[in-house]
Structure 1
Amino acid sequence: MSSSLPPDTHTWLGSADPDFLDLAIREIKAADPEAAVQRLREAPGLVWVCSQRSFVDLVEAWQADPPIFLRHICPIHREQRLDEGSLSKLHLDEEMLAAIDPMRSFSVQTRLFGGPNLKPFQVNEALAEQVIAAVGAPLQVKDPQQVISVVILAETGGIRAWLGLSLATQNLSNWAGGIHRFRRDPNQISRSEFKLLEAIQVFQVPWVAGGQALDLGAAPGGWSRILRLYGQQVTAVDPADLDERLSQDPGICHHRLSAQAYLARSPGRFHLILNDMRMDGPASANLMAAFAPHLEPQGAALMTLKLPYRQRLRVLRQSLEILGRAFSVVRARHLFHNRSEVTLYLRVPQSAVSTT
């Protein structure tokens, strides 16, 4: 950690999908049972935390063992009380400016809750201009090295603003609140494409040039289309039809079969196996484990695991146990584009690689 960063803090903000916030709070409490956690009624999915462990200490723990449901965290180094007419007075004080490393790129990430009469980009631009003038650090909106996080909350009686400075790698996500946005492609086939694009970025999925990819439950073909954009040769498995726009692509071979029927045909090996099927979690995990022998030694697998509301943790634990017998479970994450599911990143166990 750079010595120019501000002093450590024990107060910070955590973000999660509102429907999974209870599980995110469990993760916070598991890391620090004495933490005070306050849900913010005006900001669904956001919690204010005062922890016994410092922000940096928790960051180090979560970098080694990342949470699944806690999507984004940011420290609180300053709090300002404002009213609607004084929002223009929001600023970084001399101590925060002095803590910004001039040699590292930065961005300002603003989230607004409760209807303050301004837009995030207005705050971002104003504070970025202040940093450039005072510090000279280079502005880099995408993939910055350090982030000034701003959360503005309109409450009864006024407006509260929290500001914090951190390395981008400390926030669990480079995107404000973990809200990962993509520009809509005019050739997009399905909304689920965003899930795969986000997973590719979050998990840093490796690619083999011209690699063989297996897309289980492929219809209507959104994930197959994305795989083709990454130069993969795709085997798409689904009894249903693929989007007609994919029918002329020689890089996609469509088998109109169930995944179970295709497995019975003893398929070859693949560099990447994907599974976004709507199946019961343990059943999907068992099916995925059955395909593990068909993954190349350095290959990877991605799957979504559906979590029924009243049995989420039980299904997750049971499914991870099943998958752990066949794969190394590298990461499990509730992505911004997931709904009632998590996305899993799987690799061939090193013990299996060493014996092949």
Structure 2
Amino acid sequence: MNGPAVLVLEDGRIFRGEAYGATGAGLGEAVFATGMTGYQETLTDPSYHRQIVVQTAPQIGNTGWNDEDDESSAIQVAGYVVRDPARTPSNWRSRRSLGDALADQGVVGVAGVDTRALVRHLRERGAMRAGVFSGDALAPDAELVERVLASPPMEGADLYGAVTTREPYVVPAEGIRRFRVAALDVGIKFNTPRMLAARGVEVHVLPAGTTIAQIEELAPDGFFLSNGPGDPATADGPVELTRQVLERRIPLFGICFGNQILGRALGRGTYKMRYGHRGINIPVVEHATGRVAITSQNHGFAVEGEAGERFDTPFGAAEITHTCPNDGTVEGLQALEVPAFSVQYHPEAAAGPHDAADLFDRFVELMDDGRAPGRHRLTEEGA
């Protein structure tokens, strides 16, 4: 840590601390993440692009930074705010400190902040525009507030194009290839193709601008919609591609941003949440079974709907399959007459609990069922 640093919120509240990582300025949306572990996966998750992440866990950086747990090719956050960073990391896989990783990648952090007070403020006022400033970027408070107010809000932000792959690539199946999946990258995490590959799936990761003709050329057994950042109301291209996939009855599975894209393709609206769900301890209820899973999540937008609701779509009936018992947020969708389902959380569990890993098995079953026309229901009722 070196010199003073500040976190400035758009409502004028300022939290002071010390510089951590790189010095300079970072602008984004201030959000809090509740995971006590998994900071490396959080920081490299493309869903956090242009967000300033506040860690609720007071001690951060104890296990350092390794070369195995990145979920993308770089740290994605616009800034990082912690209370008590580790002075010396200790883990057999650690290759550098968290502070060094932030500095090496130009990510501005603030340490020594009263993160309890900060999180309480964000819970009351909601996620909001913010800036982190240190070094030469420091200026009078009023000037820094003006810089934050001049920055774009997350609502209406079109960000998935900034994190998608520029060229297609393939993650081969482990062992015998059972299926081929076209995965639309609107912010995919590295562990997702690995989870599919472990189930005999060859994953073709495709840029966000991929066309239906390119999908058909691959002749995939399934189509995957990834997680990603920004406002789903801006994702008109992926939504139209999803509609075309549904028309062709290609088995479809979506997570997080992909859940919102499928929701829009089915005719549902989306909305900005007050402060969103970010962490690895968020409960979700599956209505068909009553099963509760503890899940990993990162989203500030959600699909409109209520628990168990059935609704008409251009592709037949659909239903809300999962919700969060904390606030009623829609956590899953399923089309009943075409082979498609999605969840709002992260079953790849990087980082996070493994309660939802079976969703990848359900996707494999859906693709297997797709080879026998008429068997597309995921619930026991339609099996």
Structure label with greater radius of gyration: 1
Question: Which one scores higher on RCO, CA 8 angstroms, separation ≥ 6?
Answer: 2
TM-score normalised by length of structure 1: 0.29
Provide TM-score, normalisation by structure 2.
0.27
More strand by share: 2
